[in-house]
Amino acid sequence: MTPRDTSADIDVDLVLDFLNTVDVEAGTDLLSDPAGRRAWLAARGLADSDSAADVRTALRAAVGDPAASRVALSAQVTVSLEPEGPRLVADDVTGAVLAAASRLTVLGDWDRVKICPADDCRWAFFDRSRNHSRTWCSMRVCGNREKARAWRERARANS
């Protein structure tokens, strides 16, 4: 259940899907696989961009992935004034993703985009909890795994 209306799911989905084109658990990276990359872009109607991998790294760093390094970068986004109101328009994947991230920021929802801290997971997710307190991608999987690990360590320390 969502505590309030959050950002448009389309923006959340695009940002998360993009961040999760690298899957640490499966050891796959769609952006470095030409066929996978083409299919991913085609499914979203986006043009490719040379800076896609850099933007992904920077965005993952910006939302807390310790394995990614922070770099400053920019992309071409146009503000188009249409009958419904102003709209950010981008014609490639980096522009589209950064425009979506900017809309989340404007709505105060950027800090809800998080990276699961489990070393073998690092899955990007959107924290819909009321007080933005969610840590794990899934309490059922990573949260429980972490609790079990902490319990084993305590048990070992006490024996």
Residues 130-149 that bind Zn ion (CB under 5 A): 137, 142
- Count Cα atoms within 13 angstroms, Cβ side, for 45: 1
Q: For residue 111, what are its two tokens?
A: 């800090």
Residues 94-133 that bind Zn ion (CB under 5 A): 116, 118, 121, 123
Size of the residue set binding Zn ion (CB under 5 A) = 6
The b/e string for 44-78 (b: 16+ C-beta within 10 A; e otherwise) is: eebeebebbbebbbbbbbbbebeebeeeeeebebe
In angstroms, what is the minimal distance from the CB of 19 to Zn ion? 13
Residues 33-92 that bind Zn ion (CB under 5 A): none
CB-nearer residue toward Zn ion: 46 or 115: 115
In the complex, the residues that contact Zn ion under the rule CB under 5 A are 116, 118, 121, 123, 137, 142
